[in-house]
Amino acid sequence: MSDTLEPQTFRITRADLVRYAGASGDFNTIHWSDRVAKSVGLPGVIAHGMFTMALVGRAVTTWAGAPDSVVEYSVRFSRPVPVPDTDEGTEVVVTATVKGTTDEGHTKLALTATCQGEKVLSMAQATIRKR
């Protein structure tokens, strides 16, 4: 395993937010109404934090080789992911750096997720099982 893993890019559109809201039951208006989102100080509609976390988790499972290879995973939300009302939406780019191994030989990763060049997560990390 190299020190830096191959970046993964995920596109998020308003249609994705609608699908996620239906699946999660989170219909908070900041995830679909620009008017409401702006009225509470946001730049516009933002992606659900847990949706963003799930995309980063998808990157981790891809790097790990299988979902059951993820031993630990945690993040803190530091900045919203604005999703414009366009067909292109926005992109979240996920990168990882190998930070060492555990006593069991598992690999520790430091994760970074950015949108429009800004970090959207802090203290993001994962531990993946040695395969």
Q: Which fold has domain 4-128?
A: Thiol Ester Dehydrase; Chain A (3.10.129)
Q: pLDDT (tens digit, 0 to 9) for every residue of the chain, 131 residues total?
A: 459 999 999 999 999 999 999 999 999 999 999 999 999 999 999 999 999 999 999 999 999 999 999 999 999 999 999 999 999 999 999 999 999 999 999 999 999 999 999 999 999 999 999 76
Tell me the two tokens of residue 67. 């979902």
Instruction: Give DSSP secondary structure letters for 12-75.
Output: E-HHHHHHHHHHH----GGGT-HHHHHHTT-SS-B--HHHHHHHHHHHHHHHHSSGGGEEEEEE
